[in-house]
Amino acid sequence: MPYAIVVYDVQAERTAKFLKYPRRYLTHVQNSVFEGELTEGQLVEVKETVESMLDTGESVMVYQMASEKYVDRSVFSEDPMDDQQFL
């Protein structure tokens, strides 16, 4: 399954909208950063939806890896991804 990291930069008053959508599929790891595994279909949907949500001057970046095994991830202090093990 593809592994994705989604980062957004939007107007302050619109952050709640952008926070809500990616949480459906990914883990919220920092203020405007989400990550996790998605199906191919979910990845396409996320990309299309976040693009359609953008206003002028805003941006979303989606980093895509073939799977989580290709991610070398270092976390210092508490890891928000640890909570996902208990769902």
What pTM, to 2 d.p., does this model score? 0.79
Tens-digit pLDDT string for the chain (87 aa): 889 999 999 999 999 988 999 999 999 998 899 999 999 999 999 999 999 999 999 999 999 887 777 676 666 666 666 765 444
Dihedrals phi, psi of 60, to nearest 5 degrees: -135, 135
Other beta carbons within 10 angstroms of residue 35's beta carbon come to: 24
Report the C-alpha gap between 54 and 85 in whole angstroms.
Answer: 32
Amino acid present at 25? Y
Helices (H), 9-66: 15-20, 40-53
CATH class of 3-67: alpha beta
Domain ranges of the chain: 3-67
The pLDDT value recorded for residue 67 is: 72
